[in-house]
Amino acid sequence: MNLYLIRHGDAEPISPTKSDHKRELTPKGKGSIRKAAEGWKKIIKSFDIIAASPLTRAVQTAEIIVEVFNYKEKVITDKRITSGAKFEDFKDFIKSFDEDVIAIVGHEPDMSRHLSALVSSSGSYVEFKKGSIAKIKFEGKVRASGGTLEFLIPSELFK
C-alpha cells in the first residue's frame, strides 16, 4: 500500500466568533495547495481513495486535490482521521480499505505523530508543515513502525 498523508493548507486564524471546525482555507492557502497538487501530479499518477478530516479546512484541501487529479469518487470524511484522533483509530481507518493508493488530509500535530508512529518505533517526531505531503510505503498490512517513508515534501517546493 502507498499511503499519502497531507496536511491541510493555510487556514483562517482561530477566532472567538467562529468554531475551529468551520475555519476555512485562506485564499493564499487555496492557491498554495493547488500549486502543490499540480506538482504532486508529476510524481503521483492517481489516488484510489481520498479521505479527509471532517473539519472544513481539510475538506477544502481535499476538494482542491480532487479537482487537480480529476478524481471521480467522493471524498470520504471520518472522525477517526479528525483533529485529535487516536493513532489506533487512525490506523484502523486506513486498514478498512483494500485499495493500494490512499491519501488522507489531516491536521497537526496528528499528521506528525501518525507519520512517526507508522515509520518509526523510536518515538521520533517529524515536522509536518501546512500543505506538505508524505508518502509511506507498506509491504503487506498497515502496522505501527511497519512503513517506509519514501518522501516528505513541503508545499513551498512548488511555488
Task: Identify whether 16 is part of a domain.
Answer: no
Task: Identify whether 15 is part of a domain.
Answer: no
Domain count, the chain: 1
pLDDT level of residue 126 (50, 70, 90 thresholds): confident
Mean pLDDT computed over 36-57: 97
Range(s) of the domain holding residue 28? 2-9+22-158
Task: Identify whether 17 is part of a domain.
Answer: no
Mean pLDDT computed over 16-45: 94
Task: Identify whether 84 is part of a domain.
Answer: yes
Residue 143, number of CB atoms within 10 A of its CB: 12
Task: Identify whether 149 is part of a domain.
Answer: yes
Q: Which of 92, 82, 85 is nearest to 8 (CA)?
A: 82
Q: Considering the chain, what percentage of its residues have pLDDT values greater than 90? A: 82
Task: Identify whether 14 is part of a domain.
Answer: no
pLDDT value, residue 124: 75
pLDDT digits (tens, 9 = 90+) for 138-150: 998 888 889 999 9
pLDDT surpassing 80 at residue 30:
yes
Lookup: cell for 76: 470520504
Task: Identify whether 37 is part of a domain.
Answer: yes
pTM reported for the whole predicted model: 0.95
- Cβ contacts of 138 within 8 Å, gap of 6 or more: 1, 2, 3, 146, 147, 148
pLDDT digits (tens, 9 = 90+) for 96-111: 999 999 999 999 999 9
3-state secondary structure (DSSP) of residue 1? coil
Task: Identify whether 30 is part of a domain.
Answer: yes
pLDDT surpassing 90 at residue 67:
yes
Q: What does DSSP assign to residue 144?
A: T
Q: Which CATH number characterizes residue 126's domain?
A: 3.40.50.1240
What is the tally of helices (H) and strands (E) in the chain?
A: 4, 6
